[in-house]
Amino acid sequence: MRALAIARASTRRIIRDRTALFFLLVLPIIVIIIVGATVRGFSTFRVGVDSVGSGAAGQRIVTALDHSRGIDIAIYTDQKSLTTALARGEISVGVLLPAGLDAVESEAKPATVTIFAEQVNSAQQAAATAVSSVILGQGALVQSASFAAAHSSSSYNQALALATSLQGTTPHVGLRNVSADTSASTLPQGYSYSAPTELVLFVFLSALAGGAAIIETRRLGMYERMLAGPVRARTIIAGEALTYFLLALVQSALIIVVGAIAFGVSWGNPLAAAALVITWALVGAGAGLLSGTLFRTPEQASAIGPTAGIALAMLGGCMWPLSIVSTTMREIGHVTPQAWAVDAWTSLLSRHGTITTIAPQLGVLAAFAVVLLSVSSLRLYQRLR
Amino acid sequence: MRTALLIARKDLRQRMRDRSAIVLGLVAPLLIAALMSFAFKGTETFHYQLGVVNEDHGAIATELVHALSSSTSRSILTVENLSSPAAARADVHDGHVAAALVIPAGFSAAVAQQHPESLSIVTSVNNQVAGNVTRSIAASFVAQIDADRLSVMTALAGGAPANTLNALSAKAATLRIPLQSVERPIGAGQLSAISYYSPAMAIFFLLFTISFASRSFFVDRTQGMIERMRAAPVRPAEILAGKALSVLVYGTLSLATVGVITSTAFGANWGSPFAAVLLGFAMVISVVCLTALVIGVARTQRQAEGFSSILVFGLALLGGNFIVISSSPPLMRTLALFTPNGEAMRGFSDLSTIGGGLGTVATPIAVILLFSALTGGAAMALARRAVS
């Protein structure tokens, strides 16, 4: 009961601090929006196109690129802005459609489309391959229309319409897709990626930075005053742990609700998600308590806490999927609790996981929570005695 | 001037005694940059293993396999021969190969017939890019064959007599698709993760100086230090100059050290040293002005901590210190240019990819200095009140 009173007092003190509230509640949502809007390009090539002066033929290529699987297009109005965007990495390749491209059709003149890409940049080479294939597909239509116009009574435009309609039905070398697997080993892109990873990141980071409150309480001699009354050290520890646990739960609940309502994130099996949130909140509570006993000044907690939180989040796959890093880095990443939490969310969001499926991850996270809470409680107990 | 130097020296000594200043100014940016470097080592180039099952061994199938092993394709994929479609599915599923291409028996013989065989592309949901690239290479390879067949069918549908089929087919076989593509390099370097995140993290942790310096000012004021200085007598302008100088020296040292260590130890490309130094120095000036603004706007230490924390994270998020801003939507790229750190990141990225010297970063430096003049001007009026 006294632990509850301590938790209530500590929570009230943190909630009164508007800066703390900003970091607890507002910042995670802003980061989810920014990261969610950014993490969309793992399976698409961004292709910049300058089609100025290329006429209707050029427009048809732009439409074909726009409708191609795995290609997102961005329109540029001059070559300089196109190449600058490529140099800055805003696009994967640049496509320059030559002026007077209509002449390919009207005068049956061959034409060449320029694809800006560096030979040594293999990512750009891959994108160039995709673009080149689309251009050949459009070229096939032009070839067919010109051939038919020359060898039948159709005009070029009639033949082009015919070729377009026949392209799908004419026997051709089909490219059949065979899926080797149906369930992804990474989180979905967009907000379904940023919401769970930022939940993992911020619950831990806020707890680490929040350790400053315990240091401040220690410095003000509030624990000594509490101990002068009929309050035992373990009650104080339980109260503080409860504070961090409750704050972590509130923060997680906010991210889950905002993620579901505003960004349409489906959090998977509710029972498994709840178990994961609670276990992760316990890990956060342990980290917060440890930060409060490990650092000497609030400045140290505010400086080293976020740094450690960000570093662990990077290692654990909160900033980028661990599937894109080397095997060694993936293994090192799993030394952090963050990697196990992200694995569990991946199972829930991408593979319809249940509480049984994520039991191994929950087990590891529970072990982290036990170790962190035990070590930090012991340290706080020693300082209180 | 001497008074300002003494105040700056006192502030710097005080800061260096606190380990958190070393952590934020040096350890943290180097640690995070090192993590970035290790995490993305060997992953910045696109290259994948493509499993190939050749059940045909005919002329066209052999040509296709050769095309996959050509020098152009070799830069993005390595062919691994597999025994059967089942093995291909298993290997793609297990991640031994990123995608696989199955050429069925009879493919070469049927390719020019009425009903050609289909090629199968085995893909994984975890590596869609490899699947799409394989599809593009295969589509490009069969494009001419399909285009010739489509030409004949279009001519027949357009009114050419049916008995001319063989003649039309023979003529179509001599055609070449009139629309081809050619690759042209622009001579820009690739922006590696370490080259982006080294300045990004150095600037992010440099921004923390705003919190520390403004906090230190209010601690001094609470402890009566400012009043004692004023009694010395020291003019408010000298106190402000001393505080600003300490931020300037600390920021410059932090940025320069991170720059030197990440370039030499991790291979980060900061571009032309002269241009990078000037750009970094402009960024430090903007941090000095922002610190002065926080001191001017805040009335208590608590307020200063709150304002500066929100400012630091707000700028870092908008300016692209956490995410590679070039990958973000156009609106975010534009918003980034309204922040000094966003302009600095644009400048450092351009130095690393486009190259060049002062000309490359002239605009970012000018915008940062303009931003500094505006914030610094506002801060001067407000900060005098804080000191007085």
- Predicted confidence (pLDDT) per residue in A42-59, tens digit: 567 889 999 888 888 889
8-state DSSP, B225: H
Q: Which residues of A touch B20 (CB under 8 A)?
A: 297, 299-300, 302-304
Q: Residues B268-320: pLDDT tens digits?
A: 889 899 999 999 999 999 999 999 888 888 888 777 877 887 888 888 888 88
Q: Which residues of A touch B208 (CB under 8 A)?
A: 303
Cα dihedral: A324, A330, A332, A336 (round 10):
90
Does B120 touch chain A if contact means CB atoms closer than 8 Å?
A: yes
What's the confidence (pLDDT) of residue B144? Answer: 85
Return the SS3 of A76: strand
Least confident of B7-16, B149-158, B221-230, B364-373: B221-230
The Cα-based distances of B279 to A196, B59, B117, B315, B348 in angstroms read 37, 59, 60, 17, 8
Whole-angstrom distance, CA of residue A354 vs CA of residue A368: 21
**Angle at alpha carbon of residue A233, lines to A230 and A234, rounded to 5°:** 110
Question: Is B52's pLDDT higher than 60?
Answer: yes
Q: Which of B138, B131, B103 is nearest to B117 (CA)?
A: B103
Q: Which residues pair with B99 in a beta bridge?
A: B50
Strands B179-184 and B48-54: unpaired
Whole-angstrom distance, CA of residue A172 vs CA of residue A165: 14
**Contact pairs from chain A to chain B, CB under 8 Å:** 366
Q: Is there a contact between B150 and A104 if contact means CB atoms under 8 Å apart?
A: no
Where residue B370 falls among pLDDT bands split at 50, 70, 90?
A: very high
What is the fold of B48-172?
abc type-2 transporter like fold (3.40.1710)
Q: Which residues of B touch A208 (CB under 8 A)?
A: none
Sequence-ordered alpha helix ranges (H) in A220-296? 222-228, 233-263, 270-294
What's the confidence (pLDDT) of residue A43? Answer: 63
Q: Tell me what the mean pLDDT of segment B41-54 comes to.
A: 79
Whole-angstrom distance, CA of residue A269 vs CA of residue B59: 53
Q: Are B341 and B319 spatial neighbours (Cβ–Cβ below 8 Å)?
A: yes
Phi-psi domain of A100 (left: phi exceeds 0; alpha: psi -120 through 50; beta: other) = left
Q: How many residues does chain A have?
A: 385
Question: Is A120's pLDDT higher than 70?
Answer: no
φ/ψ (deg, to 5) at A169 = -100, -20
Sequence-ordered alpha helix ranges (H) in B234-339? 236-265, 273-297, 301-319, 330-336
Count CA atoms within 13 Å of residue B48 on its CB side. Answer: 26
| Chain A residue with minimum CA distance to B20 | A300
Q: Which of B67, B292, B114 is nearest to A173 (CA)?
A: B114
Q: Is there a contact between B327 and A38 if contact means CB atoms under 8 Å apart?
A: yes
- Identify from A107, A307, A325, A332 which residue to disrupt to test chain B contact, counting B C-beta atoms within 10 A and taking the largest count: A307
> Which has more confidence, B50 or B35?
B50
What's the confidence (pLDDT) of residue B6? Answer: 84
Where residue A383 falls among pLDDT bands split at 50, 70, 90?
A: confident
- Identify from B56, B168, B179, B219 which residue to disrupt to test chain A contact, counting A C-beta atoms within 10 A and taking the largest count: B179
Does B165 touch chain A if contact means CB atoms closer than 8 Å?
A: no
Q: Which residues of B touch A79 (CB under 8 A)?
A: none
Question: Is B263's pLDDT higher than 60?
Answer: yes
Instruction: Say what angle helices B340-353 and B358-387 make with each other, to 10 degrees.
Output: 160
What's the confidence (pLDDT) of residue B110? Answer: 83
Sequence-ordered alpha helix ranges (H) in B113-235? 128-157, 165-172, 193-222, 225-231
Question: Is A41's pLDDT higher than 70?
Answer: no
What's the confidence (pLDDT) of residue A40? Answer: 58
Q: Are B44 and A328 spatial neighbours (Cβ–Cβ below 8 Å)?
A: no
Whole-angstrom distance, CA of residue A244 vs CA of residue A211: 9
Q: Which residues of A touch B348 (CB under 8 A)?
A: none
What's the confidence (pLDDT) of residue B383? Answer: 65
What's the confidence (pLDDT) of residue B162? Answer: 85
Whole-angstrom distance, CA of residue B290 vs CA of residue B379: 8
Sequence-ordered alpha helix ranges (H) in A41-121? 55-66, 79-87, 102-106
> Which has more confidence, B112 or B321?
B321
Q: Residues A167-176: pLDDT tens digits?
A: 878 888 888 8
Rounded to the nearest angstrom, the minimum Cα separation between A355 and chain B is: 23
Q: What ipTM goes with this model? A: 0.75
Whole-angstrom distance, CA of residue B80 vs CA of residue B60: 19
Amino acid symbol at A31: V
What tokens does B239 get? 């106190």
Q: Is there a contact between A113 and B182 if contact means CB atoms under 8 Å apart?
A: yes
The rounded percent of chain B whose pLDDT value lies above 70 is 96
| Chain B residue with minimum CA distance to A139 | B179
Does B225 touch chain A if contact means CB atoms closer than 8 Å?
A: no
Does B24 touch chain A if contact means CB atoms closer than 8 Å?
A: yes
Cβ neighbors of A127 (< 8 A, separation 6 or more) are: A45, A47, A92, A93, A117
**Among partner residues B41, B177, B187, which is closest to A139 by beta-carbon distance?**
B177
Question: Is B378's pLDDT higher than 60?
Answer: yes
Residue B80 CB: number of other CB atoms within 10 A? 14
| Terminal alpha carbon distance of chain B | 19
Taken in order A108, A110, A114, A115, the sign of the CA dihedral is positive
Rounded to the nearest angstrom, the minimum Cα separation between A182 and chain B is: 6
Q: Is there a contact between A307 and B177 if contact means CB atoms under 8 Å apart?
A: no
The string over A33-72, giving b where at least 16 C-beta atoms fall within 10 Å of a residue's C-beta and e elsewhere, is: bbbbbbbbebbbbbbbbbbeebbebbebbbeebeebebbe
Q: Which domains does chain A possess? A: 2-39+189-384 (no CATH), 45-166 (3.40.1710.10)
Whole-angstrom distance, CA of residue B354 vs CA of residue B347: 10
Q: How many residues does chain B have?
A: 388
> Which has more confidence, B167 or A172?
B167
The domain spans of chain B are: 2-41+194-387, 48-172
Does B350 touch chain A if contact means CB atoms closer than 8 Å?
A: yes
Q: Is there a contact between A110 and B176 if contact means CB atoms under 8 Å apart?
A: yes
Q: Is there a contact between B154 and A146 if contact means CB atoms under 8 Å apart?
A: no
Whole-angstrom distance, CA of residue B162 vs CA of residue A286: 81
Which helix (H) or strand (E) is A19 found in, with range?
A: helix A18-21
Q: Are B180 and A134 spatial neighbours (Cβ–Cβ below 8 Å)?
A: no
Rounded to the nearest angstrom, the minimum Cα separation between A307 and chain B is: 6
What's the confidence (pLDDT) of residue A208? Answer: 83
What's the confidence (pLDDT) of residue A189? Answer: 73
| B179-184, strands of its sheet edge to edge | A71-76, A45-50, A93-96, A111-116, B179-184
Whole-angstrom distance, CA of residue A345 vs CA of residue A351: 9
Where residue B34 falls among pLDDT bands split at 50, 70, 90?
A: confident
Q: Are A83 and B158 spatial neighbours (Cβ–Cβ below 8 Å)?
A: no
What's the confidence (pLDDT) of residue A362? Answer: 96
Q: Tell me what the mean pLDDT of segment B67-96 comes to.
A: 86
Taken in order B246, B247, B248, B250, the sign of the CA dihedral is positive
Please, which residues 259-318 of chain B have a Cβ atom closer than 8 Å to chain A?
A: 302, 305-306, 309-310, 313, 317
Q: Is there a contact between A86 and B186 if contact means CB atoms under 8 Å apart?
A: yes
Whole-angstrom distance, CA of residue A337 vs CA of residue A207: 14
What's the confidence (pLDDT) of residue A1? Answer: 66
What's the confidence (pLDDT) of residue A232? Answer: 79
Q: Which of A130, A70, A180 is nearest to B121 (CA)?
A: A180
Question: Is A211's pLDDT higher than 60?
Answer: yes
What tokens does B334 get? 């534009």
Whole-angstrom distance, CA of residue B269 vs CA of residue B355: 10
Q: Is there a contact between A90 and B125 if contact means CB atoms under 8 Å apart?
A: no
What's the confidence (pLDDT) of residue B384? Answer: 63
Whole-angstrom distance, CA of residue B141 vs CA of residue B135: 10
Q: Which of A385, A363, A58, A366 is nearest to A218 (CA)?
A: A385
Where residue A9 falls among pLDDT bands split at 50, 70, 90?
A: confident
Least confident of A91-105, A215-229, A257-271, B45-59: A215-229
Q: Is there a contact between A176 and B118 if contact means CB atoms under 8 Å apart?
A: yes
Question: Is B123's pLDDT higher than 80?
Answer: yes
Amino acid symbol at B157: A
**Angle at alpha carbon of residue B60, lines to B55 and B61, rounded to 5°:** 25
What's the confidence (pLDDT) of residue B31? Answer: 83
Q: Which residues of A touch B88 (CB under 8 A)?
A: 180
Q: Is there a contact between B327 and A89 if contact means CB atoms under 8 Å apart?
A: yes
Q: Which residues of B touch A329 (CB under 8 A)?
A: 38-39, 41
Question: Is B350's pLDDT higher than 80?
Answer: yes
Mean pLDDT over all residues of chain B? 84
Residue B186 CB: number of other CB atoms within 10 A? 17
Amino acid symbol at B276: A
Q: Residues A232-243: pLDDT tens digits?
A: 778 888 888 888
Does B74 touch chain A if contact means CB atoms closer than 8 Å?
A: no
Whole-angstrom distance, CA of residue A143 vs CA of residue A109: 10
Return the SS3 of B384: helix
Whole-angstrom distance, CA of residue A204 vs CA of residue A199: 8
What's the confidence (pLDDT) of residue A38? Answer: 66
The rounded percent of chain A whose pLDDT value lies above 90 is 24
Q: Is there a contact between B181 and A315 if contact means CB atoms under 8 Å apart?
A: no
Q: Which residues of B touch A19 (CB under 8 A)?
A: 302, 305-306, 309-310
